[in-house]
Amino acid sequence: MSSRRSFFKKSIGIAGAASLTSIATQAKAEDISDALFELNKLLPEEAATDEDLWARMAQAYTVSPNILNLNNGGVSPQPKVVQDAVDRYYHLSNEAPTYYMWQILDKGREPLRRKLADLAGVSPEELAINRNTTEALGTFTWGIDLNKGDEIVMTKQDYPNMIHAWKQRELREGVRINWINLSLPVDNDEVVLKAYIDATTSKTKIWHITHLLTWTGQILPAAKLCAEARRRGIISIVDAAHSFAHVDYKISDFNCDYFGTSLHKWLCAPFGTGLMYIRKDKIEKTWPLFPTDKPQSADIRKFEALGTRSFAPEQAIGQAIDFHNAIGAKRKQERLHYLKKYWCEAVTKNPRVKLHISLKPEYSCALGTFSIDGIAPGDIASKLFADYQIHTVSIVWENVSAVRVTPHVYTTTKDLDRFIEAVGKIAGS
């Protein structure tokens, strides 16, 4: 029992953290640790609704007391223990940069690689540490050999950076994109699978799969799509920017060829941190985005030749993993889905409010979208912030026109009650 308590204390920075010097701060840290300990006694479904424990755990974050942030989908705030780690590594680096960065902190990359691989359920030799999903997916887009006329299947609801990358390759090299336009929300795996199959021809080489769509929060059946792609001899690329450390899974569950994510989203790691996974037998065949002396090597590290990098945020990923593990992946997912369902069910009591997301847990988690009849999404988001200091984001993309709302583990139902009341007033309840 004492070892478990020690784990939770370590995960939030108790025991030697320089920032926890005052009695008040130490007491708060102990309370956070105790809350995490108590949460872990509960089944994930039970823990999801324990407002007292989540409110105590939320003290680990330093979020604004004035602005209610319900746009956590783009970038998540870091718990204080992660912020403190970044500061420590920066201060150390500045004492003698070329020594502490390249001879001390750089030695931490291999232990970090193993830690990330354990979290992701893959071999460390298949995982590279980078800066974000765009960098990972850009590596795949430009690193996979294709010929003129080869086809890529992707949806119009994929992320713009990835769409732009494939369009640029289409312009430069004559590859062809076969487009799918998904009708959202969709809570039928076979509908999505059929859409990919119908867009596939004998020239199709790649299926580009976004696991969780940024626009609405829709979860697509990535594992089934990857399995079908493999059956057809097609390469599978998974964009998991919004799902990793948000939905409880391992990369190995997908059996994909390529996978990229941003750790500064749901893992709450420092800004500008990410990872990419490449199946072992694909590494040698994939060209690095930044050239090395051995670009056709089978060593995953060839994808980390970035020149001078920011070591402090990279090394602080380890503290973010500890904090994530202290909550528990399944427990976190259950809480996030509970919060989304809480506000969705409340706002739709007004007939003018429409949801653009399924409430089934297999098709959505924290991200949710809504609209109000007769009011543009941009106007709704602007009014929420101007009148109620609630930060959301309006979405107008392809066939989606809505406001996206994304709570986080530090969000309470009391916070959401404030949002629900605001939406009711805007909708004219």
109, 243: one domain: yes
Residue 248 has pLDDT above 90, yes or no: yes
Residue 19 has pLDDT above 50, yes or no: no
Number of structural domains found in the chain: 2
Residue 281 has pLDDT above 70, yes or no: yes
Residue 12 has pLDDT above 90, yes or no: no
423, 385: one domain: yes
Query: In the chain, what percentage of residues exceed pLDDT 70?
Result: 94
Q: Is 260 left (phi over 0), alpha (psi -120 to 50) or beta?
A: beta
Which CATH number covers residue 386? 3.90.1150.10
Residue 369 has pLDDT above 80, yes or no: yes
Residue 189 lies in a domain: yes
Closest CA to 135 of 256, 347, 290: 290
Q: Among 275, 301, 321, which residue terminates a domain? A: 321
Query: What does the alpha-carbon distance between residue 71 and residue 59 come to, in Å, rounded to a whole number?
Result: 19
Residue 65 lies in a domain: no
189, 111: one domain: yes
Using one digit for the tens of pLDDT, what is the confidence trace for 371-398?
Answer: 999 999 999 999 999 999 999 999 999 9
pTM above 0.85, yes or no: yes
Which CATH number covers residue 202? 3.40.640.10
Residue 245 has pLDDT above 80, yes or no: yes
Sign for the CA dihedral angle at 348, 354, 360, 365 comes to negative
Closest CA to 39 of 329, 247, 265, 243: 329
Residue 391 lies in a domain: yes
Mean of pLDDT over the chain: 95
Q: Among 269, 288, 321, which residue terminates a domain? A: 321
Domain, as residue range, for 373: 331-427
Residue 114 lies in a domain: yes
Output the pLDDT for position 25. Answer: 75
247, 145: one domain: yes
293, 360: one domain: no
Output the pLDDT for position 28. Answer: 85
271, 399: one domain: no
Residue 350 lies in a domain: yes
Give the pLDDT mean for 409-414: 98
Query: What does the alpha-carbon distance between residue 303 and residue 305 come to, in Å, rounded to a whole number?
Result: 6
pLDDT band at 123 (very low <50, low <70, confident <90, very high): very high
362, HSE (Cβ side, Cα atoms, 13 Å): 7
299, 336: one domain: no
Extract the tokens encoding 90.
């920066």
Q: Among 272, 296, 321, which residue terminates a domain? A: 321
Query: What does the alpha-carbon distance between residue 81 and residue 10 come to, in Å, rounded to a whole number?
Result: 9
Residue 274 has pLDDT above 80, yes or no: yes
**Side chain identity, residue 215:** W
311, 400: one domain: no
Residue 112 lies in a domain: yes
301, 340: one domain: no
313, 335: one domain: no
Residue 223 lies in a domain: yes
Q: Is 140 left (phi over 0), alpha (psi -120 to 50) or beta?
A: alpha
Closest CA to 180 of 165, 191, 168: 191
Residue 225 lies in a domain: yes
Query: What does the alpha-carbon distance between residue 377 and residue 267 come to, in Å, rounded to a whole number?
Result: 28
Residue 6 has pLDDT above 90, yes or no: no
335, 316: one domain: no
179, 286: one domain: yes
Residue 21 has pLDDT above 50, yes or no: no
